[in-house]
Amino acid sequence: LQAFVPGIYPRSEALVQATRDLDRGRTTPEAVDEQVERDLQALVSVQQEAGLDLLADGMLRWQDLFRPLVEASEGLETGALTRFLDTNTFYRAPSTNGGRPRLRAPLDERLVAPLPGPRIVTLPSPFALSNGTEVTPQAIAEGVLKPQLDALEADLVVLAEPFLAREEQASLEGLAEALETLTGGPRLALWVTFGSAERLLEQGLAELPVDGIGIDFYATGIDAVPQGFEKLLLAGVLDARNSTLEEPREIGAFVSSLHARGVEEIALVPNGDLQYVSESIARQKLVRLGKAKTATAEEAA
Amino acid sequence: MSEVKLLTHEIGSLAKPPWLVKTSAGRPLDESDIEHARAWGERFGVEGHEELVELLGREDRDPHEVARWSSRYCVRLQESAGVNVVWDGEQQRSEMYAWAIAHANGFEPRGTVRSFDNKYYSKSAATGPVSLREPYHNEEFSFLRSVAEEELKIPVTGAYTLAVWSYDEHHLPQQGRLGAGLSRADEIKARRELTLDIARNLIRPNLEALIELGATWIQIDEPGASTESDELDIFVESFNVSVEGLDCFFSTHLCFSDYDLFFPAIEGMSGCRQYCVGFANYDTRELGTGEDDRPGYHVIKKFRDLTYEPILGLGVLDIHTDFVEPPELVRDRILYAAEVFGDPARLHICPDCGLRTRSWDVAYQKLQNMVEGTRLAEEALNRAHAGAR
């Protein structure tokens, strides 16, 4: 049993203030950089103290899930400010300018921070990054994600996929082809966030060419998990859109239910980016994730 | 037909001046802040603004008094631009969500969440039954009535937006959700309970208090109304519950949505006498009054066809950009809408949304051009009517 926190982590109140001040010309980029470093150190510490298995950098400089890769790529542009699912958070929807997307240079250490231990890195899935544009997931995978992956050292790369579960007409075929392009580098997991994966599981989500599949278990019933699920299951057991703190015992009981369905390799994760709660809530949830993992492991022993 | 006269109004928030922001944060002012107060006081014709300049020089200045001065400035900003119905642009409120929640029982703060980029909002959780702690716009309304020379309206954040921008720790089940596959129907049921609780026990008594004080136009702001396309009936129901039987002119403000989503749901919102809606954000900057010239405004036909014939508050200023719409562009947007509606009396003219993200300089120019563009449209409409006689 593992536990880790992929995705965008919320900024501390101090970093919120620093970035607000930067926008209003009241502070310097250097001062914001220093606060980002302090936030990063605090996030690493809380992950280590919670006993998480892979460290994440929280993507603290990412303005949204797509922006850094869009800005680093030819053929992609930042488009209209768009509501993210049914939240009150908005992102710049990627758009295309006619050319074939191509990553000019991999993201640097400001955007994918080096960490003192085994780490996960989160990137948008090829379907999510191509969503609403005129290019295919395959073109995004080849031109943007593959060169980024080739430049990465990570124990696991989590491809965040917030849209697929809500696309009633979506087919897994194009995504499977795109994911195939991405194999051969770091281990990959497709993280289906904030939505029921039931229909996708029926269509063969578990058969996609990745090492792990992430499922939001606040929207997906456990019965939707196929018997004998053989991949790493990123079990979304923290509700990143709800301020209620989870009970480690309830998570432990849920893990037992997954084991009973024949799922052997499980990683406890949130059901989406924790940035939809404040940093203080996210930190408490993260600590509880660690407690749930520890308690479950001790019970099993 | 009598002479066409189109009413103009601002939608909501305006930027807070640096001397208010710094005073509220307990930070010292510098000479540029004092000069800001002096220069804009003269430009807007704020009576007695020298008193503010003197006040800003004192270390023991009262933030509430400074905020009231800021209200005076923003009312005069609109009045001197020629706007017909005014407000103070949220100068005395913290922000549209936080201000309402801070005056309600049944909520607890849960920290700061990103809206986009480096923009954030405070978010609370519903933790118990909702009730009004105290009417939270009365003091502001009384003060503004003593200041404004033009007609006043009072914006109030609506029940659905307050609900959808909050966590719900009270109506959603706290345990047993993990792996249960909570249905959308369960979520909707919880949202309805929270929203109607807010409408009945927070918004409605607040509206009653304002009407008792003499408010005649209350704008219920619902920027979150289209967050969930399958919850629009809850938005409509909450509006009706909030205003039913109350004697006042009620409007609502919707922004930055796929407005088609609101139909047919708002066919049942007959207590709403005006929809203030942002369109300029979706339109081109080219002149012209034809169908192809005004792509951002095609959806207005649906508002026209509502059987209870509400007024449309036509958004003609894009608040996301410093581009100052020329009066001729404003004119053409209005003329297109007048042609679609057939009856100019069903049009009011306004920006897409509050101008808070623009500097006073840009906001002022935009509002002046809105007023001038409205005048040009009136002239064109009156010429056309005279020619038709």
pLDDT in tens, B271-310: 999 999 999 988 999 999 999 999 999 999 999 999 999 9
- Tokens 């449309």 identify what position? B312
Which residues on chain B are in Cβ contact (under 8 Å) with A81? 116, 256, 320
Is B179 touching A (CB cutoff 8 A)?
Answer: yes
Q: Where are the beta strands (DSSP E) in chain B?
A: 7-8, 85-86, 104-116, 119-132, 151-152, 154-157, 167-168, 217-221, 249-254, 274-277, 311-315, 347-350
Q: What residues of B are in contact with residue A83 (Cβ under 8 Å)?
A: 227
User: Does the structure show a pLDDT above 60 at A66?
Assistant: yes
Q: What percent of chain B shows pLDDT beyond 70?
A: 99
| Mean pLDDT of the B106-128 span | 95
Judged by CB atoms closer than 8 Å, whether chains meet at A242 and B167 is answered as yes
- Encoded tokens for A263: 């799922």
Pick from B24, B113, B174 the residue to mutate for testing the A interface (most A CBs within 10 Å): B113
Tell me the C-alpha distance between B239 and B6, whole Å.
Answer: 26
Average pLDDT over residues B232-239: 97
Beta strands in A21-98 (DSSP E): 73-74, 76-83, 90-96
Contact B169 A243 (CB under 8 A): yes
Which residue among A250, A277, A279 sits closest to B175, beta carbon to beta carbon?
A250
Residues in A closer than 8 angstroms to B125, CB to CB, are 243-244
Q: So what's the pLDDT on residue B1?
A: 57
Distance from CA of A69 to the nearest CA of B (A): 15
Determine the residue among A86, A87, A88 to mutate to test chain B binding: the one whose Cβ has the most chain B Cβ atoms within 10 Å: A88
Q: Is B307 on the interface with A (CB under 8 A)?
A: no
- Please report the DSSP string for B142-199 in residue order: HHHHHH-SSEE-EEEE-HHHHHHTSEESSSS-SSS-TTB---HHHHHHHHHHHHHHHI
* pLDDT computed for residue A86 by the predictor: 84
CB-count exposure of residue A242 (10 Å: 0-12, 13-18, 19+)? buried
Cβ contact, residue pair B113, A275, below 8 Å: yes
CA distance B160 to A263: 41
Q: Are A251 and A227 in contact (CB under 8 A)?
A: no
Separation in Å, CA of B187 to nearest CA in chain A: 11
CB-CB under 8 Å, B174 with A278? no
Q: Is B30 on the interface with A (CB under 8 A)?
A: no
The kind and range of the H/E element at A14 are: helix A13-23
Please, what is the average pLDDT of chain A? 95
Cβ distance A285 to A245 under 8 Å?
Answer: yes
Q: Do B110 and A254 touch (CB under 8 A)?
A: no
Predicted local confidence at residue A83, as pLDDT: 85
Q: Residue A220 has what pLDDT?
A: 95
Chain A residues within an 8 Å CB radius of B179: 217, 220-222, 254, 257
Considering only CB atoms, which chain A residues are within 8 Å of B168? 242
Distances (CA, A) of B38 to A25, B20, B68, B92, B292: 22, 14, 16, 20, 46
Q: Which of A221, A223, A278 sits opposite B112 (nearest CB)?
A: A278
Residue of A nearest to B117 (CA): A63
The rounded percent of chain B whose pLDDT value lies above 90 is: 88
CB atoms A89 and B115 under 8 Å? yes
d(CA A253, CA A255): 5
pLDDT band at B389 (very low <50, low <70, confident <90, very high): low
Task: Name the residue in chain B with its Cα closest to that of A225.
Answer: B179
| Average pLDDT estimate for A82-101 | 89
Residue B128: count other Cβ atoms within 10 Å of its Cβ.
13
The pLDDT value given to residue B385: 83
By C-alpha distance, the chain B residue nearest A274 is: B113
Neighbours of B174 (CB within 10 A): 12
Q: Rounded distance, CA A243 to CA B125, Å?
A: 7
CA angle A207, A211, A212 (to 5 degrees): 85
pLDDT tier at B226, thresholds 50, 70, 90:
confident
Burial B63-80 (b: 16+ CB within 10 A, else e): eeebbbbbbbbbbbbbbe
Question: Which of B227, B220, B193, B222 lies closest to B204 in space, CA to CA?
Answer: B220
What's the Cα-to-Cα distance from B18 to each of B32, B77, B360, rounded to whole Å? 9, 16, 11
A157 φ/ψ angles, rounded to the nearest 5 degrees: -110, 125
How many angstroms separate the CA atoms of B361 and A152, rounded? 47
Among B167, B175, B177, beta carbon nearest to A218: B177
What are the structure tokens assigned to A236, written together? 């979304």
The answer to whether B262 touches B255, Cβ cutoff 8 Å, is no
**Contact in structure between A96 and A75 (CB atoms under 8 Å):** yes
Q: Residue range B26-53: average pLDDT?
A: 96
Relative to beta strand B119-132, strand B167-168 is parallel
**Over 90: is that where the pLDDT of B173 sits?**
no
Give the mean model confidence (pLDDT) for residues A111-140.
Answer: 96
Considering only CA atoms, give the Rg of chain B.
Answer: 21
The answer to whether the CB of A111 falls within 8 A of the CB of A62 is yes
Output the pLDDT for position A50: 97
Q: List pLDDT tens digits, range A139-186.
A: 999 999 999 999 999 999 999 999 999 988 878 999 999 999 999 999
ipTM entry: 0.94
Question: How crowded is residue B16: how many other Cβ atoms within 10 Å of its Cβ?
Answer: 20
Q: What is the CA radius of gyration of chain A?
A: 18
pLDDT given for residue A81 in this prediction? 80
Q: Which residues pair with A120 in a beta bridge?
A: A156
For residue B122, give the 3-state DSSP assignment: strand
Q: What is the pLDDT of residue B386?
A: 86
Q: Is B117 in CB contact (< 8 Å) with chain A?
A: yes
Euclidean distance between CA atoms B309 and B233, whole angstroms:
20
- Say yes or no to pLDDT of A274 above 70: yes
B182 or B335, higher pLDDT: B335
Asked if pLDDT for residue A288 goes beyond 60, the answer is yes
Q: What is the pLDDT of residues B342-377, one digit of tens each?
A: 999 999 999 999 999 899 999 999 999 999 999 999
**Cβ density class B338-354: b for 16+ within 10 Å, e for less:** bebbeebebbbbbbbbb
Cis peptide before A248 (omega within 30 of 0): no
Q: What is the mean pLDDT of residues A256-261?
A: 94
